[in-house]
Amino acid sequence: MDEPLEDLADRFSQIADQYDDKHGSKEKPIYNACATLVIEHADPRPDDVVLDLGTGTGLIALALAGDAGHVVGRDISDGMIEQARSKAADSGIENAEFGYGEFRNPQYDGDVDVVVSNFALHHLPDEKKREAIEAIADLGPHRFVLGDAMFFGSPDPEEPLFGHGVDAATVGMLVDVLTDVGFVVTAVERVHDQVGVLVAERVGGD
Ligand SMILES: C[S@@+](CC[C@H](N)C(=O)[O-])C[C@H]1O[C@@H](n2cnc3c(N)ncnc32)[C@H](O)[C@@H]1O
């Protein structure tokens, strides 16, 4: 699965105004558990810059804005970005900015302390996930928290948890790539046998 970015972005823009109703609800306990763990593990310092990739309607970015110095949300879907901007304005959050950016080219030139991403990397096939993680490492964060669909064992093909649009990697593959680019994986949270949160930190980072 390697859907053109424009098609994927359009698909998300079409559902952007209903996205939070579905994902913030009790209908999605696995998604919500994953999001909660990403927020907890991000744990930014008061002056940290947090970059949220595949930010969508800004769920993670806006939850971290109160603890961080500045949050930057990047996404490929204009409709989702608009939702995030409007939520920030409605909540009076002034240290958050949202704009276009892709995993492999987030279009942010400033220093980044913490990178987070929740339920978005699975849209890339494995080779592009590797390129995305390399691009994230190049930004120089001291921590990267990844919540996503990921296989802890061998998934039963008769019981897929997710359908169209999800290209989950194995936990082993993700840990290997994170390690290859210089992170140490300091926590592995299994939310479900097809969903988890990985915390990767810089060796010798402060
Ligand atoms: C399932 S939503 C998750 C949104 C948000 N992180 C959350 O937890 O609610 C996936 C998001 O990833 C974005 N996305 C997909 N591929 C992307 C890419 N290559 N670069 C940046 N964002 C991407 C989509 O536009 C969508 O907003």
Domain ranges of the chain: 5-202
Cα 199 to ligand 1 centre (Å) = 19
- pLDDT value at residue 23: 81
Using a 6 Å cutoff on CB, does residue 75 contact ligand 1? yes
Cα 17 to ligand 1 centre (Å) = 14
CATH topology of domain 5-202: Rossmann fold (3.40.50)
Ligand 1 nearest atom to the CA of residue 38, by list position: 8
Using a 6 Å cutoff on CB, does residue 38 contact ligand 1? no
Residues of the chain with pLDDT under 50: none
CA distance linking residue 66 with residue 45, whole number of Å? 10
Q: What is the pLDDT of residues 122-168, one digit of tens each?
A: 999 999 999 999 999 999 999 999 999 999 987 666 666 766 567 77
CA distance linking residue 51 with residue 70, whole number of Å? 9
Using a 6 Å cutoff on CB, does residue 119 contact ligand 1? yes
For the entire predicted model, the pTM comes to: 0.95
Residue 93 CA, distance from chain mean position: 20
CA distance linking residue 82 with residue 99, whole number of Å? 9
- pLDDT value at residue 164: 59
Give the torsion sign (CA, 158, 161, 165, 170).
negative
CA distance linking residue 48 with residue 85, whole number of Å? 20
- pLDDT value at residue 169: 85
Residue of the CA atom closest to atom 25 of ligand 1 = 77
Using a 6 Å cutoff on CB, does residue 23 contact ligand 1? yes
Ligand 1 probe mutation, 71, 75, 103, 122, most atoms within 8 A of CB: 75
Which residues does residue 132 pair with via DSSP β-bridges, in sequence order?
Answer: none
Cα 128 to ligand 1 centre (Å) = 14
Which residues does residue 17 pair with via DSSP β-bridges, in sequence order?
Answer: none
Using a 6 Å cutoff on CB, does residue 103 contact ligand 1? yes
